[in-house]
Amino acid sequence: MRCDVVVVGAGPGGSMAAKAAAMAGLDVIMLEKRQEIGDPVRCAEGVSKASLKEFLPSIDPRWIAADVKGAKLYAPDGTCLTMSEDKAGAEVGYVLERKVFDRSLAAEAAKSGARIMVKTRATGLLFKDGKICGVKTIRFGEALDIESHIVIGADGVESKVGRWAGIDTTLKPKDISTCAQFLVEDKSIDSNYCEFYFGNRIAPGGYIWVFPKGDNLANVGIGIVGSKSEPGLPTKLITNFVQERFPKGKAVEMVVGGDPVAGVMETTTADGVMLVGDAAHHTDALTGGGILNAMRAGVIAGEVAAKAIAAGDVTKAGLKEYEDRWRAAISRNLERSYEYKEFLLKLTDEDLNKLLGPLAAEDISKMDLRGMIRLMFKLNPKLLWELRQLVV
């Protein structure tokens, strides 16, 4: 089988890449190793409304499980801070129904001309005269080689495309978040707010989230850095939290997985290869969110693929525009979030209470994260001295 571009992975980043490349006139094949796109959902499913509308001006109501007013942040001692949804970050606004959302994005890629192949697992890269020229796959139990000019790796945190292409995608234990999430049914769920709980007792090196999904349902999950985790710990901690927070709640689904919370990768390209989304560590290290960054990088990758193929140069140098554009768009925010994350890993619960407690007496409802950091710096200059360069 032959095409211009193979996209490995049919998440939001992969689908946006496939759509952009197909709209540019390329012959595109998108692979999904599972038999169903969008399932299982390894995501809290939150996105900001404004950012989502940048890519998708027309929002399909079927995508939206909940439309929230804002976020509530809980310190270890129980102090609660409330932020409006437009200031609470890229993960607050809409809570998506990812099973529907992901399939809709894949369908849009198909309408644009991309071919979708589910239950097709990439098993390696094809090489000709030492150059990458496609992917090896297993489809319905049989081997199938797909030749292409470019391979776009959108295959998640466990990405193999990058490793096969010689790109260093290694994650240190402190740069990967180990996660577990329940879909909980309980009448006490607040449908108006996403909730975030901090504290080393309940979530060492991370946080717990409660994202409402309507009909008395919520994603209740935990992410903790690998350097502070051990086998089974995320599941144990989130089970304890659910029993305390929702004693009458019923878990109707459960997923586990990993999330990159690393700094910016040195490179996300190789000859004939581009990485997007979690595969490229495009995830925000502070929040663990990555849907919108993956979509943005996917669009760029699809557009650059078309230009590189038209120019007859799919080498790393020929794909430099991809590196330049995604870095200009999101690398500064990724780097800043990583510095915040590294700082927060050092804090005790007492430190967190000192930082968050005084904010309860302030009006932070319309402050964004940087505004909150500036205020916390003003109230606790000694504790936040390390972050002084980030608050100017």
Give tens-digit pLDDT for 175-217. Answer: 999 999 999 999 999 999 999 999 999 999 899 999 999 999 9
Residue 92, SS3? coil
Element (H, E) at 342: helix 332-344
Give tens-digit pLDDT for 209-232. Answer: 999 999 999 999 999 999 999 999
DSSP string spanning 131-154? EEEEEEEEETTEEEEEE-SEEEE-
Question: Could you give the CA distance from residue 172 to residue 177 in angstroms, rounded to a whole number?
Answer: 10
Other Cβ atoms within 10 Å of 244 Cβ, number: 9
Give tens-digit pLDDT for 249-289. Answer: 999 999 999 999 998 999 999 999 999 999 999 999 988 88
Residue 88: per-residue pLDDT: 58
> Tokens 């910016």 map to which residue?
264
Residue 148: per-residue pLDDT: 98
Residue 385: per-residue pLDDT: 74
**Mean pLDDT across the stretch 161-171?**
94
Parallel, antiparallel or unpaired: strands 28-31 and 5-8: parallel
Residue 391: per-residue pLDDT: 57
Sequence letter at residue 189: I
Sequence letter at residue 289: G
Give tens-digit pLDDT for 323-382. Answer: 999 999 999 999 988 988 888 888 899 989 988 888 877 777 666 666 777 777 777 777
Residue 269: per-residue pLDDT: 98
Please say if the pLDDT value at position 392 is more than 60: no
Residue 369: per-residue pLDDT: 65
Whether a cis peptide bond, with omega within 30° of 0, leads into 40 is yes
Question: Could you give the CA distance from residue 349 to residue 357 in angstroms, rounded to a whole number?
Answer: 11
Element (H, E) at 6: strand 5-8
Residue 390: per-residue pLDDT: 62
Token pair for 114: 């991309």
Token pair for 147: 């030749």
Using N-to-C axis directions, what is the helix angle for 12-23 and 98-111, rounded to 10°? 20
Element (H, E) at 211: strand 206-214
Residues 6+ apart with CB under 8 A from 363: none
Measured in degrees and rounded to the nearest 5, phi and psi for residue 191 equal -80, -5
Sequence letter at residue 330: I
Answer yes or no: are the C-beta atoms of 294 and 277 closer than 8 Å: yes
Question: Could you give the CA distance from residue 58 to residue 161 in angstroms, rounded to a whole number?
Answer: 33
Residue 380: per-residue pLDDT: 77
